[in-house]
Amino acid sequence: MNRVTENMEYKIVVKIFVVWQEKKEGQWLRKMSNDGWHLYRVGFLHYRFKKGKPKDMIYRFDFKYIRSKELNDYITLFEDTGWEYISRFGGWYYFRTEAKEGYNTEIYTDNASKLKKYKTLLVFLIVLTIPQIYYLTIMLTRFKNVPPYSLPVILLYTLILSLLIYAIIRISLIIRRIKQDIRE
């Protein structure tokens, strides 16, 4: 899905990346920057870009729960070290830095902290999934006086649930890989 609203200076691109596609999302945003379209806001299913000079920018995403009074410290630390804070979407924080030879382009530089990021994400996904399982079970068993649901609704729920469970599996695999790296 790729719908584009465009004028001279700004453009909105409707696009979906799912949690296990961080790398793909980063590559796409980098390509956009190389074409002179720099991300300035992320929203539900869409990205907003501003036209500027083409630049090779590296994009990185952090997943975190941050209390609003700590947000300033968090962003300041990134900005001090050459990262630009762009936008936030849910628990995701978007940053970018210019690609330069010999400069660090990772926001996580050891496995222990990388592991923590994905564990936080996994817990979030599990918390999101449990109620869906509950609702779907109710629909399927037509528990007590719940009215019979139409097939499309049940199918939609099954789809959402499958997506969530698939996400949990993908993130669990990332976690396993990091754990293996730590042991080696």
Residues that bind another protein (CB under 8 A): 60, 62, 72-74, 76-78, 80-81, 83, 95, 104, 106-110, 112-114, 116-117
Nearest distance, CB of residue 105 and another protein, angstroms: 9
Nearer to another protein, 75 or 154 (CB): 75
- CA dist list (Å): 52 to 13, 35, 47, 95, 178: 16, 9, 16, 17, 37
Nearer to another protein, 109 or 141 (CB): 109
- CA dist list (Å): 108 to 5, 15, 162: 34, 26, 30
Nearest distance, CB of residue 8 and another protein, angstroms: 34
Nearer to another protein, 80 or 184 (CB): 80
CA distance 174 to 101: 28
Nearer to another protein, 6 or 106 (CB): 106
Nearest distance, CB of residue 110 and another protein, angstroms: 5
